[in-house]
């Protein structure tokens, strides 16, 4: 439980803050060991650590937080002082609250890794396990540096992908909005004019009018259909066979499949390099990486590789026999195993796949742009032809 406290030492210096403890007696004993005497104590209001729209911490904020924590530890500051300083510096309000809770837990005698594990929505199993390994090996400062670099690389790749996809998403949104306005407001007005005149209409105009009526009177069926599709998708994904099939289809899609594979491989190599550098055994590295990869095909391959490593296989050979990883991966890993620099080889692979993913994303965007231009041109031409053609027909008949 978290408590707010005020205490003084024999010199009369006031100290106040938060501390994690099972009960007030434990708080009293903790402070007494530090030569402080309790003045006031009250339970702190517990902040929810469950997922919330406002309780999300971006990868960028977490990378900055980790880097600053490393710098402060390198400067000789204690965990408690460092975490309280970070609570004041971070721009994320939720991360600031988490930092204060971490400081209170550490001050109460809890290891940093155990305190981090209390906030799974902020600190992933990779983060917690890496810090735990750093605590055990006495290389926490080095481990935090590796974590911050890993988070920075991950954020950089995500930013590149998002940046490239912004333009197509914007164009599609605007085009959809314009079409809805035309179908809801413009077409009904023209339809009334055509009905009053009583002239025959060409099929493009009939299609446009029918589409307008559908959007105006039956728009709710689209929402019902979307909800149904989402429910069906979740139902399929909840079953092991269905989820596995969906993940395999994703990897088989043209352009998208290779891009996803490169992203998964880059993430796996970066995670593995960080954990190995922290001193974790290979089997634990593979188990942690499996949790963080969201594709069942790769998760099953890592389970198979873990079993082979436990049976005495070299990591490179275990990967080769799964048949899931490309030859480049197990070849470079073999070189790393032979030279004794496996983490450096994995970092090199991660850099390669991240660059490849960024290149593929840029190529995909350059392919989408002309397709969007053609689609916009066809949509405009259809609308114009549907409206102008009957008007010219009426004028010609007069």
- Is residue 140 assigned to a domain? no
CA distance 58 to 47: 19
Whether 34 and 113 share a structural domain? no
pLDDT, tens only, 201-256: 777 788 888 888 888 888 899 899 999 999 988 888 777 788 888 889 988 988 88
Strand duo 37-43 + 14-20: pairing: unpaired
β-bridge pairing 2-8 and 37-43: antiparallel
Residue 286: inside a domain: yes
Q: Tell me what pLDDT residue 12 has.
A: 75
Are 262 and 348 in the same domain? yes
Show the tokens assigned to 207. 């299609």
CATH of residue 274: 1.20.81.30
* Residue pair 77/91 in contact by the 8 Å Cβ criterion: no
User: Do 91 and 9 share a domain, yes or no?
Assistant: no
pLDDT of residue 348: 93
Residues 101, 156 within the same domain: no
Q: Is residue 162 part of a domain?
A: yes
134, part of any domain: no
- Say if residue 183 is in the same domain as residue 297: yes
Kindly give the parts of the chain with pLDDT less than 50. 47-53
| Domain contains 132 | no
Q: Is residue 231 part of a domain?
A: yes
Number of domains in the chain: 3
Is 233 part of any domain? yes
User: Is 216 part of any domain?
Assistant: yes
Residue 164, C-beta contacts closer than 8 angstroms, at least 6 positions apart: 361, 362, 364, 365
Say yes or no: 264 and 312 in one domain.
yes
Same domain, 243 and 392: yes
Tokens of 72: 């402060």
* Shared domain check, 398 and 335: yes
Q: Residue with structure tokens 């988070």?
A: 151
Same domain, residue pair 219 and 324: yes
Report pTM: 0.71
Task: Kindly state whether residues 110 and 83 are assigned to the same domain.
Answer: yes
* Domain region containing 270: 150-398
- Give the position of tokens 């032979």: 338
What is the distance between the terminal CA atoms of the chain, rounded to a whole angstrom?
Answer: 86
26-49 residue pLDDT tens: 777 777 777 777 777 777 665 444
**Rounded distance between C-alpha atoms, residue 228 and residue 226, angstroms:** 5
């Amino acid at each position: 439980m978290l408590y707010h406290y005020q205490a003084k030492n024999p010199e009369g210096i006031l100290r106040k803050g938060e501390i994690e403890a099972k009960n007030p007696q434990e708080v009293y004993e903790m402070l007494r060991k530090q030569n402080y005497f309790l003045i006031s104590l009250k339970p702190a209001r517990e902040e929810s650590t469950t997922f919330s729209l406002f309780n999300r911490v971006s990868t960028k904020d977490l990378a900055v937080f980790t880097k600053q924590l490393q710098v402060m530890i390198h400067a000789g500051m204690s965990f408690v002082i460092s975490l309280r300083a970070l609570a004041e510096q971070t721009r994320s309000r939720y991360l600031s609250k988490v930092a204060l809770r971490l400081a209170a837990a550490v001050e109460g005698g809890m290891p940093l890794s155990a305190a981090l594990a209390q906030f799974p929505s902020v600190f992933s199993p990779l983060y917690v396990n890496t810090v735990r390994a750093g605590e055990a090996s006495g290389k926490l400062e080095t481990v935090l540096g590796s974590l911050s670099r890993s988070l920075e690389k991950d954020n950089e790749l995500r930013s590149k992908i998002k940046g490239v996809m912004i333009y197509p998403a914007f164009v599609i949104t605007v085009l959809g909005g314009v079409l809805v306005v035309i179908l809801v407001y413009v077409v009904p007005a023209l339809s009334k004019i055509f009905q009053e005149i009583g002239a025959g209409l060409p099929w493009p105009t009939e299609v446009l009018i029918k589409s307008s009526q559908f959007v105006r009177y039956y728009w709710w069926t689209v929402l019902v259909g979307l909800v149904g599709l989402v429910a069906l998708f979740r139902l399929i994904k909840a079953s092991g066979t269905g989820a596995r099939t969906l993940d395999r289809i994703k990897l088989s899609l043209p352009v998208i499949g290779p891009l996803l594979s490169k992203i998964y491989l880059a993430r796996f190599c970066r995670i593995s390099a960080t954990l190995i550098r922290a001193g974790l055994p290979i089997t634990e590295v593979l188990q942690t990486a499996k949790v963080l990869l969201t594709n069942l095909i790769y998760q099953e391959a890592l389970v198979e590789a873990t079993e082979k490593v436990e049976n005495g296989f070299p990591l490179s050979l275990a990967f080769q026999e799964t048949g899931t990883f490309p030859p480049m991966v197990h070849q470079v890993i073999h070189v790393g195993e032979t030279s004794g620099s496996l983490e450096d080889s994995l970092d090199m692979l991660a850099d390669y796949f991240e660059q490849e993913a960024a290149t593929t994303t840029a190529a995909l965007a350059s392919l989408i742009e002309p397709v969007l231009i053609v689609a916009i041109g066809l949509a405009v031409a259809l609308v114009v032809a549907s409206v102008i053609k009957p008007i010219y027909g009426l004028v010609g008949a007069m």
